[in-house]
Structure 1
């Protein structure tokens, strides 16, 4: 692999800024491992990737968790692995579930990149990595339940410690994006207009599909947070996968429900259509609008521009958010 280390260190920066110290420790350890194995060849330079993560204006902690790495296939022009998880189970448990899912997916999938050619069955390998994450969280839940029972907590009460997470993941290999999801975290494709690739696994999504709800009602329905699929809830979970052909000018957006519920598709489309903006400016603006519209949940997103914008966008980024621009500058020098 010949990864983009400045993007990888952005993972660490985002995790630390959100007090996700367990996740940051894993990322730092993995960065050291990557640095030791790093091939001395240029990283994938055509991609422009940035992350946005914020706890929102209501929640006390951030249970969303992100991962982004580019340049995993040195022999292809564009490649990477990108994951967004939205943990459930309370402040500590939700964050642990999201982190455990990402750690398991990364450790299951990235060694396959070394062992397999770019044309391998990546759709199936990605789904298998998510299935491994599901089992890891389930085993952790079972361990917590046994601990609770040993401590004298009734079984019905011990179930409250169960954790889980939604996940959406993209494995990018040149002109193909392999997408997988469980729950209501989404992956979008922007190409002249915005298209939702993934399907939500939630009660309101099912009601909408059955014609019992209008589109706008899913944002205000009292049961809108009821998920029908999540990692960690059963020995096996049904994983949706998608194979998306790319032409090289599109934008991919991965996000938790805290972003799309607060921002709405039309606004996201307008932001991604900003021809002058780079990925950092887009990610910042998406999180900013989600907070301006209430910030009722944690907010997490990854923006992937397949064609890197020119440096003329730096001025606009500085005008929108000088702090983000300075952070970007610091990251680029590391």
Structure 2
């Protein structure tokens, strides 16, 4: 906040509790969480909302969509953190670390067969910032990388095969690891149904980084219990936090994490230059960076 105040001495900044006292005077809001509609309605001057996340669909509430409020996200700053987290999950699943942790809790010396990831195929759904960064790192580790993308364009050098959403059946049948790097928007909800999960290799693993509603929870539990797939690492869920009653907690072939994939401590250092540049652009009437299409949700 100090750097912003130094860079924009003519702008009055509020943070923490003081930000909630007089919302009527706010022209801009920087927020980690979506704003309740009732609060937005108390901000008649609001021109721009910036979300600290890359995925901003939850921020597009009726009150925000009904007014000419510009919405921007922090796209581009979470790629390194998410990709590192995804690789950690891939290694943990391939090296059977969940089974080792379970044996450790019971003080049992149980050997398990592990797998090498070099030569395996990683399928990435969504080749945006997160998916692209994951693809680069995975390719360097010797994995074959295949991916889907809404607008394909030229194939990046770090991707072996790429196709539009219709390429999904080919990807699912070929991949040893499937990483969901999709935007969490209505068009990606339940993109993986029973047909899609059954088409995956029985030895394959699902890694959900960003799209909690891409697969229905009860169906995923069934797939994991019946062995349609070998296991999963889940950092995104339809409802968060995950209910204590969820059967996912008790499955030995599942890694559950509380939405920490993109939560690197450095995110504020990466976010502030984007916000500062957009604040400058807003004041000079220029187009904002990472401007969200309210209809598409990203």
**Higher relative contact order (Cα pairs below 8 Å, separated by 6+ residues):** 1
Structure with larger Rg:
2
TM-score (norm 1): 0.28
Q: Which has the higher strand share?
A: 1
TM-score (norm 2): 0.30
